[in-house]
Structure 1
């Protein structure tokens, strides 16, 4: 479905994660600020380093990102915003 996938092959950084047929829909990952994002990140100098994560750029990224956002908001709803990381 076209609304779930977009490749910006004219971008100077494409492909930024070195995967074929990269999805650029979530160029900046909307899950970055969620501690339990489900992605392949590491903490480097106190910051979240997502450079090896492709979960927001592969063919399943749309469904993955939306499912993680939904999970996060369910957690906020159940636990309160002050208790969610």
Structure 2
């Protein structure tokens, strides 16, 4: 897929690829805009650390998949 307003792949990034298992990674949402959403379409894990619960998205590729751009926007715009 070519770089566009819906997709951007930065193979020169020192962290690329940030997730294993994808042939192409959409870097547009490098930091997931859905991190603070309770209803997350990805597959986050929740880690208990003392009296806190931490959302871990280390195994989630949802924001990095090209076809999910529209779904992310729908969840961000009320």
Which TM-score applies when normalising by structure 2?
A: 0.82
5+ long unaligned stretches in structure 2: none
Larger Rg, first or second structure (1 or 2): 1
Q: Is the 8 A contact 1:56 1:65 kept in 2?
A: yes
Q: Which runs of 4+ in 1 moved over 6 A?
A: none
1:61 to 55, 63, 68: 68
Pick the structure with more helix per residue.
1
**RMSD of aligned Cα (Å):** 1.3
5+ long unaligned stretches in structure 1: 74-85
Aligned residues: 71
